[in-house]
Structure 1
């Protein structure tokens, strides 16, 4: 036995390795074909036979540079003002007047000596006559004249004087001369003061090379790049190829003479990238969902959905990457498996889809957000129309995301709006593709989705109509069990949809012999009174087998078939067992196994919950006086019996879960049955729920 298990484990491992290699190969092929453009053998002057289109967006570097150069040519020279020029002129003038004051205090010095001292201030280029006129100015008037000359110079510098602008310089000096004339001083003094002031008028604004280059770079930076859009015609059929077009084709890697080594590195990087993504995806499933990882059929399902998403991205993305139905795969994974797997795997797929589109960051963000929304909106799907709402919500949110990110990275608002509209269509396509592909996956992998289960909840389905028409009491009982099961499942984190639908169909086998079950014996005699207990037990037990055959005939999902098969486990049909044993001449010959359901016992939380709901609802319904204490005692008795007899050993329900279920049952049943009318007294009770469900009537 150990050898067989070991071989099976090895075979499963080999199958997983083969699956990994297959998925890697297909995905890698999609990536390589996406980034490798069609090659052409062209040179300048050749005439192509077909239109050559850009496989992706690309910047036309030459056209962009020409546009930048044109903008740079319009940038004028940048100048910088130097306030120190004016300050130096003021200081020079004040130094000269300080010298004049000093000379006026030298009474012993001759005029010639004073002129000699004054001419030492060479920056003013004063003549002997001008020096003599300045020395002759009264000491008391020197400060006033000094301030006026400084103010005249300051006013001249208020209008910046640009270097090499002789006109501006001449104009400034003329203005100074005029203002000095207006002082009405002695002619010789005015001449000397004009000489002083005009020598201090110089350019104070100079060409700034660094500032000019900064301005040019700023202008170039603001120039929008010339983009050759995806699918835009680069070379038209029948027209000679220009060198500019050759350069663009070369940048796109569309010429046969391109460097092969460069592509080898790209292909190697892609292989590593894709392998890392796959390791992350399968590793996440293995670590967090070991039972799914060990189930090769489910791994193939996951891989198939992943590849479908890549194929859709590769095909639909040719039209526009914003049209890609990003939420399709997350929706399918959520409905077929669970939302956590869906979120992680689809988010990683979004990165791969971004790689298919040139690692466009906007596309990657859009894909990840769509994955989150597609998984989250269907996390607790309970109604069919929730898929429609999920599709619409996802489409609207992704449109808002596209518009907001588009405005940040593009100045062309019209283009952004178009992308937003395409994104909305892509969101709608997600739901359409999911609805179209799901039936294929359900049939191929024998998986059941919430959508499929919800279809089975329609009371007009053939089996439910059959149950209602042929066994109305059982139908009513099944509806009550469904309500109990659904609430209990929600309390313990089980699949409430599966438990509800499983409850609807768990007793469909009773339609084969409806009147042998007490809930359907309205106004008729009990047929069990006319047959031996062992035959009655066989008929009671047969409803499980009959139900399974009907489920297979009507192609109910495997998960519902399992609930039908397991909802009684290996419970003993106590009433008929003890009746037969008490009436037999040799009680020891009555075998207990002949009066037990054949099982198996529940193997899932959902099946275990249905078993408990089925038993407690039937038992409580038969209580003569359904007081709160009586209901509590009955529920506790039923649950404890199932636990002690091992019926719940394989269904993964913990003691904590069972306690939550117990509380849920007590709350619900007390609200339903505490005012029920009193029923005729039965001779014997079966605390396993058989007689309580009305499967027979006892003799009074």
Structure 2
């Protein structure tokens, strides 16, 4: 039992990778839309590459979105608009006319019988005006239905009375019957009472329109089983394209039913498993340092799952907006945290997975791969704000050019270009700019370090470096010199120069606790080591590594930077104090005079070890020459190699030679050596 648990703990990293692998497969397959995959791939404007296709079953030809939209617009223009008749306004108009008539004609010389006749005529005119209601401005494009007492009746255009038309009717009614003065008063008395009483009923009109729209058929005609749909080599044109799309939709919906469900699910699972297996194999073979770090592996898989989830969510809701998903964020982020090759490889694998679910998969895969390559080639030095904007602009341009090309292939011209597609690409670019805050978020969640953070850490005005310059100015100056040497060497062999520079700036911060015990900080001839036993002196020297790590953790430095503090002396020997101890104790224990390690495990940490040793020892050179510097650098680096300090670092002999060459050149510049001219 104990042995089994021991094996489990030893292999828990591997078990975690298995768990991550299978849970990722399950989630991706779960994200996929519920539907089969049509076995033929076709595009409008391209020849049919398969054998003659006959209808495998009866199916209906679906109308295109444009056809359905045209029918809907036509129905909207024909569907009746409903107006509600308000009888209270009509009754008020009669009452108000009676009051107005009495006030106008009570002092009139007209006989009462004549006044009664005028009053009756005014009421008749109001009756005729309000017979079909008075409208403000009815919809002239559609039929008008007037609802009176819950009964709707259709009105002709001649029956519809507006305020303007009502005034004309009133004037015509009283044109020749009475004298001008009387007629004018009567027209005013009647017209002032006319107010609109037929109002547009939106709810009723919308219900009527919805009822009509629901009657629209989404199909036009049927294709019977066995009918030839398209022949081999025939160009997929508009009509054939619609029929093929209808067959594809019917096929995929039918395929998902019954026992086929499990076979399709199994097929998706196998394909996704193969893609993710390729990712694991790539990491294990070409990026072992990432493969061995479960946090980094999890980070990569989380990003893949996030892109798959967002894309499938968009496809399920509205596949027309699939290009809104900023897929180029994936290679951009992975290149920022790791390297360009890994970023592009993961990007391509993610696109292969999404190719199962997106429409026009060939176009999608082509455009996204090209955009991913552009991202990898153009995105660099993200800590410079303009670089991201320039790169996003180039990515957006590639999308637009690609869309133009595919549209030309499909349509044979530049007509019917959908301007909304350009808006989608621009929106994609704007969302891609969100990569900057996303990188910051990932740093906090996964403990990773980006170039942006490294740039912030390299600021010599930061709190920790400011404290170092105040407490140990000699060490601070030494760190600056080492940073310059290491950065130049890293650039020469293609290592991460920004990371090396930051590591060099912080590698000796542990000396702040006892600055005067280190020679670069001693400003007088008094050496505190003269009063200490060699063992204690060696312990103080060695402890600056441990104390530096503690100080770095306290100030929140990332682990990638702390690695430089751990490894910059490796397991090297404090030779000076060991020799002094041997004078007192010939059988002195070497372990007490050796740094705890570990030894460098990357190109960057190996470069720092070389640069640190060379710069520190160069202070002992008196009247240096070219030959002296050459032999000096060779001796130090050779000693480190013989001590197996670079055994775990992925640095080659050729790269070590290049580093030595840079160190020699830089030291020559530091000591201002000039060419010796012949006398």
Would you call these one fold, judging by a TM-score over 0.5? yes
Tell me, what secondary structure is at the counterpart of 1:32?
coil
- The corresponding residue for 1:307 is 305
Question: Structure 2 vs 1, CA of residues 239 and 621 (structure 1 numbering), >3 Å: closer, same or farther?
Answer: farther
Question: Structure 2 vs 1, CA of residues 568 and 12 (structure 1 numbering), >3 Å: closer, same or farther?
Answer: closer
The answer to whether structure 1 residue 462 and structure 2 residue 463 are counterparts is: yes
The answer to whether structure 1 residue 657 and structure 2 residue 631 are counterparts is: no
Question: Structure 2 vs 1, CA of residues 316 and 517 (structure 1 numbering), >3 Å: closer, same or farther?
Answer: farther
- The corresponding residue for 1:60 is 63
- The corresponding residue for 2:367 is 366
Give how far 1:475 is off. 1.8
Query: CA deviation digits over 1:620-651, x for unaligned, max 9?
Result: 23311121111112111111111222222222
The answer to whether structure 1 residue 241 and structure 2 residue 214 are counterparts is: yes
Question: Structure 2 matches for 1:13-92, cutoff 5 A?
Answer: 13-32=14-33, 60=63
Question: Structure 2 vs 1, CA of residues 260 and 596 (structure 1 numbering), >3 Å: closer, same or farther?
Answer: closer
Contact 1:482 1:504 in 2 (8 A): yes
Query: CA deviation digits over 1:586-608, x for unaligned, max 9?
Result: x2243332222222222222211
The answer to whether structure 1 residue 261 and structure 2 residue 257 are counterparts is: yes
Give how far 1:367 is off. 1.3
Structure 1 unaligned runs (5+)?
A: 37-57, 68-234, 677-700
Tell me, in whole angstroms, the C-alpha distance in 1 between the residues paired with 2:303 and 2:492: 31
Tell me, in whole angstroms, the C-alpha distance in 2 between the residues paired with 1:603 and 1:321: 43
TM-score normalized by the length of structure 1:
0.62
- The corresponding residue for 1:481 is 482
Tell me, in whole angstroms, the C-alpha distance in 2 between the residues paired with 1:35 and 1:438: 37
Tell me, what secondary structure is at the counterpart of 1:357?
coil
TM-score normalized by the length of structure 2:
0.63
Query: CA deviation digits over 1:265-311, x for unaligned, max 9?
Result: 76555444433433333343344334433543333222111011122
Give how far 1:2 is off. 10
Query: CA deviation digits over 1:231-254, x for unaligned, max 9?
Result: xxxx98554533622679987969
Give how far 1:472 is off. 2.2
Q: Which moved more, 1:667-676 or 1:240-249?
A: 240-249
Query: CA deviation digits over 1:184-223, x for unaligned, max 9?
Result: xxxxxxxxxxxxxxxxxxxxxxxxxxxxxxxxxxxxxxxx
Number of residue pairs matched by the alignment: 484
Selected match of 1:645 from 643, 646, 650? 643
The answer to whether structure 1 residue 544 and structure 2 residue 545 are counterparts is: yes
The answer to whether structure 1 residue 600 and structure 2 residue 598 are counterparts is: yes
Contact 1:631 1:666 in 2 (8 A): yes
- The corresponding residue for 1:614 is 612
Query: CA deviation digits over 1:152-187, x for unaligned, max 9?
Result: xxxxxxxxxxxxxxxxxxxxxxxxxxxxxxxxxxxx
Q: Which moved more, 1:628-637 or 1:289-298?
A: 289-298
Give how far 1:548 is off. 0.3
* Max Rg structure: 1
Tell me, in whole angstroms, the C-alpha distance in 1 between the residues paired with 2:257 and 2:352: 26
Tell me, what secondary structure is at the counterpart of 2:622?
coil
Give how far 1:354 is off. 4.1
Contact 1:402 1:423 in 2 (8 A): no
Give how far 1:568 is off. 0.8
Question: Structure 2 matches for 1:26-175, cutoff 5 A?
Answer: 26-32=27-33, 60=63
Give how far 1:662 is off. 1.4
Tell me, in whole angstroms, the C-alpha distance in 2 between the residues paired with 1:545 and 1:466: 18
Give how far 1:256 is off. 13
Question: Structure 2 vs 1, CA of residues 533 and 442 (structure 1 numbering), >3 Å: closer, same or farther?
Answer: same
Give how far 1:419 is off. 1.7
The answer to whether structure 1 residue 502 and structure 2 residue 500 are counterparts is: no
Contact 1:327 1:373 in 2 (8 A): no
Tell me, in whole angstroms, the C-alpha distance in 2 between the residues paired with 1:291 and 1:256: 43
Tell me, in whole angstroms, the C-alpha distance in 2 between the residues paired with 1:552 and 1:340: 32
- The corresponding residue for 1:342 is 343
Tell me, in whole angstroms, the C-alpha distance in 2 between the residues paired with 1:521 and 1:60: 88
- The corresponding residue for 1:520 is 521
Contact 1:403 1:420 in 2 (8 A): no
Question: Structure 2 matches for 1:626-637, cutoff 5 A?
Answer: 626-637=624-635
Contact 1:612 1:639 in 2 (8 A): yes
- The corresponding residue for 1:419 is 421
Tell me, in whole angstroms, the C-alpha distance in 2 between the residues paired with 1:636 and 1:286: 35
Tell me, in whole angstroms, the C-alpha distance in 1 between the residues paired with 2:401 and 2:347: 20
Give how far 1:547 is off. 0.8
The answer to whether structure 1 residue 351 and structure 2 residue 324 are counterparts is: no
Give how far 1:614 is off. 0.3
Question: Structure 2 matches for 1:208-223, cutoff 5 A?
Answer: none
Tell me, in whole angstroms, the C-alpha distance in 2 between the residues paired with 1:407 and 1:593: 75
Give how far 1:335 is off. 1.9
Structure 2 unaligned runs (5+)?
A: 38-60, 71-207, 221-241, 675-679
The answer to whether structure 1 residue 285 and structure 2 residue 287 are counterparts is: no
Question: Structure 2 vs 1, CA of residues 20 and 675 (structure 1 numbering), >3 Å: closer, same or farther?
Answer: same
- The corresponding residue for 1:330 is 331
- The corresponding residue for 2:147 is none
Tell me, what secondary structure is at the counterpart of 1:366?
helix
Tell me, in whole angstroms, the C-alpha distance in 2 between the residues paired with 1:561 and 1:277: 35
